[in-house]
Amino acid sequence: MPTAEPICPRCGYDLSAESRKWTHACPLDGACWECGLRLEWADLFSPDRRRDVFFVEHAPERHEVLPAAWRTWWWAIRPPVFWSRIRLETAIVPRRIAWWVFCVLLAFHAFCALASNAILGKLRGWDLFLPFRDDIRAETFTAWLAPVGCLIADWRGTTIWGYRFAPAWEFTSWGPAYLPLLAMSLMLPIMLLVLKDTRAKARVRRAHILRAAVFGLAWLVPLMLLALAHFAFNQWAASSNRTNLLYFQIGPKWLALESIWGFALVPFGAAWILWWWWSALSRGWRLDEHGRVWLAASAPALLVVVIVLALDQDLVNLLA
Ligand SMILES: [Zn+2]
């Protein structure tokens, strides 16, 4: 349960010396001595004003956590909505942030993996989950392994020689946009934390950066959904002998639809991540220098996207 403390909600500076000066009356608003945040004292002293029962971190009952987690995702996918609602004064409950990862990201991943297994079962026979049907067992596991990689079957002639695990940079069913966008999502908060200059300018408590980093992974849900839709289309095309639909002809070259849609998502995802952090810095944390801090953190994050893309052999082949 959030408690009322006279500390600055942005930088954590103890403002109790200020409140001790009040004897008969107190001002309604003031500013933090350390970071200059304009604040209403009532936001610090009234626990009700620091809670939002519709937010996953503050859902009062256990059975309300799941709907609140998805409601929070629906705010987060529209960054200005999230950051207008979740303010610096909104008390941070780290345990519930972990619950959000479980209820939204992991649960949706499990749902998509089950759905893609069901598609395989429907199109290729439900006995594929039995040990003797080893021809496509790799694909049934690959959907589950998406965040870290995939399982590849090694064929010798018409029989499978063995399976090997391939890391996500070789292949993931979440598509080629996943790793560059993940790298960007990690790089931005790291830059805010480690760059002495941005930390000094930002003066934002680590817990706020952690909260923004975790809910800033909201883009994974549409990515998983698109990957599932793509998988379903692929399987349908393969099972109905329409594999020609999976390739595009540009000039003399045949390009796999998979690579094209995958890489096309990168600019959209990157734009969303930039929008998320812009909203966090300006609307959520109300930084005076939000433009400069945002640029200092965004530039290295975009550079990381370019580096991860440049290391992707598939993109190199696509552009060659
Ligand atoms: Zn402060």
The model carries a pTM of 0.90
User: If you measure from the C-alpha of residue 13 to the centroid of ligand 1, how many angstroms do you get, rounded to a whole number?
Assistant: 5
CA dihedral 206, 208, 212, 214 (to 10 degrees): 60
The pLDDT, as a whole number, for residue 259 is: 79
User: If you measure from the C-alpha of residue 32 to the centroid of ligand 1, how many angstroms do you get, rounded to a whole number?
Assistant: 5
Could you give the percent of the chain with pLDDT greater than 90? 47
The pLDDT, as a whole number, for residue 2 is: 43
User: If you measure from the C-alpha of residue 289 to the centroid of ligand 1, how many angstroms do you get, rounded to a whole number?
Assistant: 14
The pLDDT, as a whole number, for residue 198 is: 67
Strand partners, 152: 164
Are β-strands 159-167 and 149-156 bridged in parallel, bridged antiparallel, or unpaired?
antiparallel
User: If you measure from the C-alpha of residue 33 to the centroid of ligand 1, how many angstroms do you get, rounded to a whole number?
Assistant: 7
Q: Is the pLDDT of residue 127 over 70?
A: yes
Domain ranges of the chain: 1-50, 178-319
User: If you measure from the C-alpha of residue 9 to the centroid of ligand 1, how many angstroms do you get, rounded to a whole number?
Assistant: 7
SS (H, E, C) 67-81: HHHHHHHHHHCCHHH
CA distance 250 to 265: 19
CA distance 93 to 57: 6
pLDDT single digits (tens) 173-220: 899 999 999 999 999 999 998 876 666 666 788 999 999 999 999 999
User: If you measure from the C-alpha of residue 90 to the centroid of ligand 1, how many angstroms do you get, rounded to a whole number?
Assistant: 15
pLDDT band of 1, cuts 50, 70, 90: very low
pLDDT single digits (tens) 271-285: 999 999 999 999 999
CA distance 317 to 320: 5
Three-class secondary structure of residue 171 per DSSP:
coil
User: If you measure from the C-alpha of residue 198 to the centroid of ligand 1, how many angstroms do you get, rounded to a whole number?
Assistant: 15
The pLDDT, as a whole number, for residue 85 is: 95
User: If you measure from the C-alpha of residue 279 to the centroid of ligand 1, how many angstroms do you get, rounded to a whole number?
Assistant: 19
User: If you measure from the C-alpha of residue 36 to the centroid of ligand 1, how many angstroms do you get, rounded to a whole number?
Assistant: 6
Q: How far is CA 98 from the centre of its chain?
A: 13
User: If you measure from the C-alpha of residue 282 to the centroid of ligand 1, how many angstroms do you get, rounded to a whole number?
Assistant: 15
pLDDT single digits (tens) 74-94: 999 999 999 999 999 899 999
pLDDT single digits (tens) 231-256: 999 888 888 888 777 777 777 777 77
Range in 23-32, 47-56, 116-125, 228-237 the model is least confident about = 23-32
Residue with tokens 């790291």: 190
CA distance 149 to 152: 10
Could you give the percent of the chain with pLDDT greater than 70? 93
